[in-house]
């Protein structure tokens, strides 16, 4: 069976744009397309639990095949925080700028800047659950660089690159990013399903 379209359970327009640019073998339907505007629960204590909770919520609500992701930034010197709490690291009403400032402040001049981004994608397909993971290792910069990307992209530089994620094009970032790697696994699985 070839999948023709699938719901991506996100209200984040940046994530949707990134995913749509990475997948052209089938149509990605966003929550806005389905007129779903309520906040999707995200109460898990791991990336895997959160991703599955969001995908199941939309699958149960619509009956449509659905996937969702959850992503965390894990910083070695901060005991792998913010991790699953990356989106709200600076508090419940924070934004990406607040989160980045908190990370930079907590790290200060710490020489160990090692970090990794991890994405877990949960897919609910015909009622069955599947998971795909992507990890990219890198370091936290001492200050923001670049205007692109979103979230922590301006302060994260992947190993082997001179640019932060925020300095890369979407296509370049998709090739090497945590989400890009997880999406490639998802695409391969769906192509063979």
67, 186 in Cβ contact below 8 A? yes
Residues labelled as active-site residues: 70
CA atoms within 13 A on the CB side of 2: 4
Q: How many CB atoms lie within 10 A of CB 16?
A: 18
- Concatenated DSSP letters of 38-63: SPPP---SSHHHHHHHHHHHHHHHH-
In the numeric block, which tokens belong to residue 147? 């205007």
In this structure, are residues 134 and 173 in contact, taking their beta carbons and an 8 Å threshold? no
Phi, psi of 6 (to 5 degrees): -155, 150
Q: Partners of 157 in the beta sheet? A: 139
């Amino acid at each position: 069976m070839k999948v023709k379209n699938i719901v991506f359970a996100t209200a984040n327009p940046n994530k949707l744009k990134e995913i749509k640019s990475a997948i052209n073998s089938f149509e990605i339907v966003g929550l806005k397309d389905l007129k779903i505007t309520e906040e999707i629960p995200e109460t898990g204590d791991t990336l895997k639990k959160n991703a599955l909770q969001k995908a199941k919520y939309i699958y149960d609500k619509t009956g449509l095949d659905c996937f969702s992701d959850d992503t965390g930034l894990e910083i070695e010197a901060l005991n792998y925080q913010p991790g699953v709490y990356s989106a709200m690291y600076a508090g419940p009403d924070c934004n990406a700028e607040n989160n980045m400032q908190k990370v930079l402040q907590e790290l200060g001049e710490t020489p160990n800047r090692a970090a990794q981004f991890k994405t877990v994608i949960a897919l609910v397909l015909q009622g069955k659950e599947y998971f795909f993971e992507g990890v990219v290792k890198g370091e936290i910069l001492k200050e923001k660089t670049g205007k692109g990307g979103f979230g922590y992209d301006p302060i994260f530089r992947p190993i082997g690159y001179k640019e932060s994620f925020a300095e890369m094009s979407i296509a370049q970032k998709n090739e090497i990013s945590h989400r890009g790697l997880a999406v490639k696994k998802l695409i391969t699985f769906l192509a063979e399903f």
